[in-house]
Amino acid sequence: MLTDFEGALLARRTAEATRGNEDAAYDLGVAYSTGTAGATLDLIEAHKWFNLAAARGHEAAAAARAEVAEDMTAREIATAQRAARDVLALGARRAA
User: By the 8 A CB rule, do 33 and 70 touch?
Assistant: no
Host domain of residue 55: 4-95
Rounded to 5°, the CA angle 62-71-8 comes to: 65
What phi, psi does 24 have (nearest 5°)? -65, -40
pTM for this model (two decimals)? 0.90
Number of compact structural domains in the chain: 1
Q: What is the pLDDT of residues 60-80, one digit of tens each?
A: 999 999 999 999 999 999 999
User: Per-residue pLDDT averaged across 79-84, rounded?
Assistant: 98
User: Per-residue pLDDT averaged across 27-46, rounded?
Assistant: 96
